[in-house]
Structures are given as structure tokens and as C-alpha cells.
Amino acid sequence: MQLFCGSSSGGGIGSVQIDMKISGSAMPKPGLPVRASLCAFSATLVAGCTLMGAAPALAQQAGGDVVLDTVTVQADGPRSALPPPFPGGQVAQGAQLGLLGNTDLFSTPFSLISYTSEAIRDRQAVTAADALILDPSVRVTSPPGGLLDSYYIRGFPINEGTAGEIAFAGVYGVAPSFRIFNDYVERIEVLKGPGALLYGMSPNGGVGGVINIVPKVAQGDLTRLSTGYASDASGNLHADVSRRYGEGQEFGVRFSGGLAAGDTPLENQSDRFKVGALALDYQGERYRAWLNVLAQNENITAPSRPYFMASGVAVPPAPDGSTNVTQPWEWSRSQDTSVLLRNEYDLTDNIMIFANAGGGNSQVERFFGLPTILNPIGTTSSAIQYYDLDVNRYTLEGGVRAKFQTGFVNHTLTVQGSYYNETQDRAFPKSPGSVLSNLYAPVTRPQLYYVPTTPTPLSDSTLSGVSVADTLGVLEDRIQVTLGARLQKVESNNYSATTGARTNPYDETAVSPMAGIVVKPLSNVSFYANYIEGLSRGDQAPATAANAGQIFAPYQAKQAEIGVKAEFGKLVTTLALFQISKPSAELSPTLVYSVSGEQRVRGIELEVFGEVTPGVRVVGGVTLMDGEIVQSVTAASLGNTPIGVPGVQANIGGEWDLPWIKGLTATGALIYTGKQYVNLANTQWLPDWTRVDLGLRYVTTIADHRTTFRASVQNVADTSYWSGVASFGTFSLGAPRTFLVSMDVDF
């Protein structure tokens, strides 16, 4: 039997892997989850003996109850290993949680999930958006083949702006603004619900959740080469190389990168991208450091765009998913560079200080249209524009984490200060005009031209804050209470495109509290509850308002949630009931602009992952949501469903190791999304839709090298559907039937 147990300490995870045979009383107790009981046993084993020559002594002490063939320790470097996955390999047992650091899933008072690199590879997911297709709380609202990836989590938008709202190693301001390629991704963690205390205010004010990218670091010797093909005619190559050096393997180096080019399934579209990432780390006895550097660029011809809908016109049926009204002469070019340095130092065994510094730059140049559907027969008008944007971000944070006791109460106290700065420059040339086409029969029009101009300052913003959180545990941490608060300061300026003068300055502060509790009546069951707030920059009254120029305090979204997590053998289930409310400003009939609106989403979220039976694995779940406009100066809007919030989101992915051929696995996925409204009046909507994916995976050995072949078909039935709605009412066409094949070889 092989045992792998991880424990959290600071920002790193220590691990021990032991090969053994267990018999008699040393076996896990009936009714306890294998993960918990075996890890407890291994802790006793390691504490009670030396690793070398321990087998005879243990066998003698146990009176023959424990028989060990071999005892081997495999360490990928001190504290460098990630939390191990649950059975099935698709979801990890723990995740980073911003201010709170590394946390076990059953010990956190939040709905949290971490998708492993194995799950990402097996889905042949190119981007983070591809990898999150099976999360029942997440919906991608941007179109395939588009300019960026945006999301809804629990009915609220994420990453719709230009600053970027994806965290990287728990830090905002480092990840590329518009798209995350999975070449440098080890895990994708999703916190369901607001995270202002845990991660700080999101740069674009997202409150539905936080997507955190765990970057790849060296975990041992690995050389993996991959190649693949995606319809219509796109090929790709990838490399992933990891090494550790030093007497204690304290130095780590990992390079990962890839490139792809070719035509996509969308008409007239081609996509080329290149990605490269380098991760260096040092894992000393008390000092640990990680340096991540990455660069990526992507060039798209005829990038697909979401659609606006003309007022008073019902949304027409979706055309074939390969349809693309974007003209062949439209294009997009983006380039991102990022760097992050993280440091940890143990002052004592119970006190750690940490400091992080990093940033990123996103440069985007585009010439593209914004299509509006004008009538039921699908006539579209696209306003063509030139777009040149330069976004610079840098971030600093530091703090201390201490573990101590007061009487019978255990404490984990964290104090942190953070600083985030972002500047945006943009060119505003005159639009060369509009082009007409048709949703069902796109028409190629003569090329329009633009005169490029130099970008000028558009905006700058600074988010700074001080946070404190304490997790108190009693009864061997079977009851844990976490209390905390963040004092957040928000400063921003906009600049006139014509004069360059500063306009609309903003300077406000807010306190974001959080309280959570975890109760573990059994080792395999965890009940939890939380109250946490999200934070978004308040609006400024427009020039048309009677109170033009008035600045409002930051909007504080509020979440209340209760839930339970349970592990039944090798299957994990989580159930959460939540409510999120977010205020908003609006213009009254008397032209007074005030914070008088409020959107509320109540939901039930069920997730399941792990092994149902040996050789059968699942991941997915269902989210039921009741979204409602509960406050508004527009009486007709009261009681309506917010834009883009479906009543049902259901996902299930399955794998079956076919018994007839060793190494062959059948895969499949079912994705369902309910009806979604496009406008606040609820007069325009997208019908519900269902998509089915199927595939095969074959793992074998060729010339002593582990080789994995994957083949899958997304949207097997080639269903035509509108997939999702962004918060400003644009909606996207779902992907057509797409074929994917790939091969990995480990050297």
C-alpha cells in the first residue's frame, strides 16, 4: 500500500510518502475516512521511530500487528509539495485561502474547491475557462475564440474589466488580465462567495467568488513533452521540465511552456499563442522563497465577440456554433508579462513572517467590431473600433502568522498589510464606421481602416489595506472559529481623453469583516457557517444627474452561508446554502443618483467528487439560484431576475476505467444551464441549454516512457445555443462540435 500525507505550514506543504503493508489493529478504524485515519497512523509511525531501520522495531513493538516490507521517504524538497488529491485525483484536499494561508478543505468555513493539474490535463483544457467547465457554481460568459475569459460565480460577474481579477498564488495584480493559459498552472482554486478579507478588494470589484491560480513549481524530476490537435486545424506543442537540486533538494527549477497555431472551428478565425514560464524556489530549514516569471502572447484573426440586443426585440434562436459575424480583417493582439517573488521565514517554530512583491503588464491592440442584433431575422450591425490598451500593475504585501495557545484555545493569528497599484493608458481614435451582416448568413464586407494614435492616460487606482484574522480552535480543533477584518482604502483617478486633465477622483475607505465557524462532530463530517463581505468601488453621479459628481462609498456585498462537507469512503460531497446581496447606484425619475438598488441571489449548491467505485470517478454538482432585484427606484424592476442569473446550473463529469483493456478510460461530461435574462426588464432572455462531451484516454508505456493518449469530442450533438450573459447584457454563442486529440510522453 502507498501512503501520502500532507500537512500545512506557512505557505508550503510538507509530505511523506510511505510504502507499507498493514495488518491487524493498525488498519484504519471502520467508519473513518481512509485519508484521515491513514494520515493519523502515519503521523504516529513517523513520530515513534526513525525512518531508517524502523521496520523491525515497529513490528516488535506492535507484537506482529504491523508488518512493513519497506519504508521509504520521498520528499520533493522541504515543504514544497502540494496538498494531495482526494481519491480520483481531480480535486485536492486543501487550497490556499489568501490571508488564512494553506487550509484543509474540511477545516475551512467556506465553499472551496481546488482542481488538480491531472484534471486540467485530462480535459485537454487550454485555458482556465476550459478547466472550470465542470464547476456547478461557475459559468463562462465570454465566447469561445473571443478576446478574454469572463465568468459568473454564484450569479455575480468576475473578470469583466481590463484590470484582471484572477489571483495568482493568492495575490492580485500578477496574473494576465484577459486570459490564463494552463501551461503554467498547477491548480485552479475557486472560492465561492466574496473574499474581501481573504484576498483584498478585487481590482474590478467582483464579489461572487475568487479564482486563484496556483503556479507550477518544481516537485521532483519531470520531463514531459506534449503535442495535440484541435479542430478545425490547430496544432500545439508543450514542454514541462522540473528538477530539484542540493543535498536536501532545497533548490527547484521548473520550466513550462507551449505554442499553438491554426484555424479554429469558427468561420474565418485563426489563433496563435506562445507561453513560457519559469519557476525557481528555495526550501531551506527556516527560509523559503519562490520566484515565478511568465510571458505569453496571443494573436487572433476574426476574434469572436458577444452580442448586444436591440431594445424591444426578442433574442432570436442561436445559429450554428461555428458562425462568426466578425470580418476576416478584424484582429486582436495581446501580450502579457508577469513576475512574483514570495518569501517566508520562520522566526520560531510558531511564528512566520512573509513578504510578496510582484506585478504584471498587459498590452492589447485590437481592431474589431461590437455586433448588435437588430431584428428577429438576425441582421447585425458592428461598430468597428481601434483599441490600444496598456495596463501596468504591481503589488506588495507582507505580514506575520503566529500559532499560540491561551488556556485550552489554539490560535492561528495573521496580520497583513497590502498595496496594489494599477495604471491604464488607452488610445481613443475615431471609429472608421460600421458594417452590416447577418447572424445566420455572415456577409464579408470591404475592409475598413484606422489611423493609430498614441495611448494617453486613462485611469490609475490604488488599493491598500491592513488585515487581521484569528482562527481559534478547541477540542483538538474539532471546533474552529475564525474572526477577522480588513481596513481597505480605495483611491482612483480618471483622465480626460482630450485634455489629459484628471477627472472623477475617488478616495474612500471601508472595513470588511468576516466570521466563520467549523464544527467536526465526526472525522469525516464538517459543518460550517460564515458571514463575509465583498467590496466594490462606489460609483460617481454622472453629469446628467442633479447631484453630478457626488462620490459614493464602496459597495459592500454581504454573504451569509451555511453548509456541510462529508467524506464517504472515497467520495466527497459538499452542500451549501448561501445568500449574497450587493447594492448598486441608479438614477431616479427626478434625476437624483443614489445607492438605491440592490441585487440578491439565494442558492443551494451541491458538489460531489471522488471515486464512486474502483475505476469510476465523478466531479460536478448542481447549483440552484433564486436571483431577485429587491430594491430599485424603478418599480417595474422590483422582483425581476438579475441579468445572467439562471435558476439551475448542473454539471457532471465522469470517468470509467474500462475493464477489457488495461489503461483505457472512457470520459464524459454533461453541462446544463437554465434560462437567463439579458435585460433588467426581463423581456429578453436566452433559453436553457444542454451540452454533452465524450472522450477516451489511454495510458501505456512505450520504450519505457509513460505515454498518455487523449481524444475527446466537445458538444457531441453539435447543439446550437446561447451560452452566457455578461452583467452589461451582452451574450455569447456556445462552442460548436470540437474534436481534440493529444499525446503526453514522460521522459
Q: What integer is the mean pLDDT of 627-656? A: 95
The residue-averaged pLDDT of 186-215 equals: 95
pLDDT of residue 22: 36
What is the pLDDT, as a whole number, of residue 83? 87
Q: Return d(Cα 56, Cα 24) in angstroms, integer.
A: 16
pLDDT tens for 144-184 read 999 999 999 999 999 998 888 999 999 999 999 999 999 99
Q: Which three cell numbers stand for residue 311?
A: 431594445
Mean pLDDT of the 663-670 span: 97
In this structure, are strands 351-373 and 308-309 parallel, antiparallel, or unpaired? parallel
Instruction: Let me know if 131 is exposed, middle or buried by CB neighbors in 10 A (0-12, 13-18, 19+).
Output: buried
DSSP conformational letter for 304: -
Of 333, 218, 337, the closest CA to residue 275 belongs to: 337
Cell output for 152: 459568473
- pLDDT exceeds 60 at position 576: yes
Q: Is the dihedral of CA 277, 282, 287, 288 positive or negative?
A: positive
DSSP, collapsed to helix, strand or coil, labels residue 56 as helix
pLDDT digits 0-9 by tens, 227-240:
999 998 899 999 99
| Segments making up each domain of the chain, as ranges | 94-214, 215-746
- What is the distance, to the nearest Å, from the Cα of residue 139 to the centroid of all Cα atoms in its chain? 11
- Of the CA atoms within 13 Å of residue 291, those in its CB half-sphere come to 7
- Residue 63's pLDDT band (cuts 50, 70, 90): very low
Q: Which of 570, 616, 574 is nearest to 35 (CA)?
A: 570
Q: What SS3 class is residue 326?
A: coil
What does the buried/exposed string (b/e) look like for 576-587 if buried means 16 or more CB atoms within 10 Å of the residue's CB? bebbbbbbbbbb
Give pLDDT tens digits for 681-737.
Answer: 999 999 999 999 999 999 999 999 999 999 999 999 999 999 999 998 999 999 999
Residues paired with 457 in a beta bridge: 425
Q: How far is CA 323 from the centre of its chain?
A: 28
**Residue 497 CB burial class (10 angstroms; 0-12, 13-18, ≥19):** middle
Per-residue pLDDT for 481 more than 60? yes
| Contact (Cβ atoms closer than 8 angstroms) between residue 357 and residue 395 | yes
Cell matching residue 520: 467536526
Separation of alpha carbons 46 and 636, rounded Å: 67
DSSP-derived 3-state class of residue 196: helix
Residue corresponding to grid cell 462609498: 553
Residue 121: CB atoms within 10 A of its CB come to 20
In this prediction, residues 548-552 reach a mean pLDDT of 83
d(Cα 71, Cα 92) in Å, to the nearest integer?
A: 25
Residue 81: predicted pLDDT: 62
Instruction: Express each pLDDT in 97-124 by its tens digit.
Output: 999 999 999 999 999 999 999 999 999 9
pLDDT for the residue 496: 83
CATH of region 94-214, choose from 3.40.50.300, 2.170.130.10, 3.40.50.2300, 2.30.30.110: 2.170.130.10
- State the pLDDT at residue 34: 38
d(CA 213, CA 164): 13
Q: Which pLDDT value is given to residue 713?
A: 97
pLDDT for 616: 97
Phi-psi region of 326 (alpha: psi -120 to 50; beta: other; left: phi over 0): beta
Q: What is the DSSP string of 549-587?
A: T-B-PPEEEEEEEEEEEEEETTEEEEEEEEEEEEEEEEE
Neighbours of 492 (CB within 10 A): 17
- Say which CATH architecture domain 215-746 belongs to: Beta Barrel (2.40)
Please determine, for residue 669, whether its predicted confidence score (pLDDT) is greater than 60. yes
pLDDT at 663: 96
Which amino acid type is present at position 261?
A: A
Place 394 in a pLDDT band, splitting at 50, 70 and 90.
Answer: very high
In angstroms, rounded to a whole number, what is the distance separating the alpha carbons of residues 500 and 471?
A: 48
% of the chain beyond a pLDDT of 70: 89
> Of 310, 460, 346, which is closest to residue 392 (Cα–Cα)?
460
Which residues in 437-453 are b (16+ Cβ under 10 Å) and which e? Answer: bbbeebeebeebebeee
Mean predicted lDDT score pLDDT of the chain: 88
Three-state SS across 98-145? HHHCEEEHHHCCCEEEEECHHHHHHCCCCEHHHHHHHCCCEEECCCCC
Q: Is the pLDDT of residue 80 over 80?
A: no
- Distance (Å, whole) CA 21 – CA 518: 34
Q: Which of 417, 447, 438, 307 is nearest to 354 (CA)?
A: 417
